[in-house]
Amino acid sequence: MKVLLLGGTGEARELAGLLAKAGVEVVSSLAGRTADARVPVGEVRVGGFGGVGGLAGWLREHRVDAVIDATHPFAANITANAVAATREVGTPLLVLRRPGWAPEPGDNWHWVDSASGAAELLPGLGTRVFLTVGRQGLDAFAGTGLRTLARCVDPPEPRPTWCTLILARGPFTVADEETILRDHGIDVLVTKDSGGPATTAKLTAARRLAIPVVVIHRPALPAGPEVVETVAEAVQWVMRASHSPST
């Protein structure tokens, strides 16, 4: 069985390793936007496919039996393309999405639907902002006029002049995050609902310091594909698909 695995998330890397051990041929596709990305086990391709048509053609050419979308929860365009292309070709598609976050006692969260919505809300919450929304989401906050600290893995192009930039790759500890919040006098945090445990330290730090958090909702998933929340469920799905007559 041959599986195309979309995404460079931690779940995608774990899944690639488990499937390879089970004898499944896996091709992991990375967007290529992150420098020095962590590379999964097995064959890896880097870069886009050229939209729905390009992905559909790639699936036909490489005789892919199944596709798993394990991209970041905010990679909406990739997911939409995967749904359309697999539907066109008739290839089974599974979406692997880690569960989203939920507030805990002591949290002061404010949910919004977009980065622009978060920017509009900020002036009523604080004056010193810590942005953890990724480099592609920064532009929405350029006009707030607030003192802003932004953390990214790779530098945005062009490099913004309206905020202080920290380039760092997690995971970060709660102590790390508390130090940043205290040292920079942060009084409001902005993040995306990425889910999973890898980046929750900042939420714990904000709770301990009674700092409000603006959380951007995930984009809705397209209708159609089966969705699972864990790597184990994804492995089971592949094993079932490998024994179906169509594969």
**CB distance 91 to 59 below 8 Å:** yes
DSSP letter string, 118-176? HHHHGGGT-SEEEEES-GGGGGGGTTS-SEEEEEESS--SSPPSSSEEEE--S---HHH
Instruction: Read off the pLDDT of residues 90-142 as tens digits, 9 standing for 90 and up.
Output: 999 999 999 999 999 999 999 999 999 999 999 999 999 999 999 988 999 99
| Confidence (pTM) | 0.90
Are 2-99+219-242 and 109-216 equal in CATH topology? Answer: yes
> What architecture is the 2-99+219-242 domain classified under in CATH?
3-Layer(aba) Sandwich (3.40)
SS3 at position 96:
strand
Instruction: Read off the pLDDT of residues 59-95 as tens digits, 9 standing for 90 and up.
Output: 999 999 999 999 999 999 999 999 999 999 999 999 9
For domain 109-216, give the fold.
Rossmann fold (3.40.50)
Domain boundaries, the chain: 2-99+219-242, 109-216
CB count in 10 Å sphere of residue 129: 25
Residue written as tokens 């594909």?
225
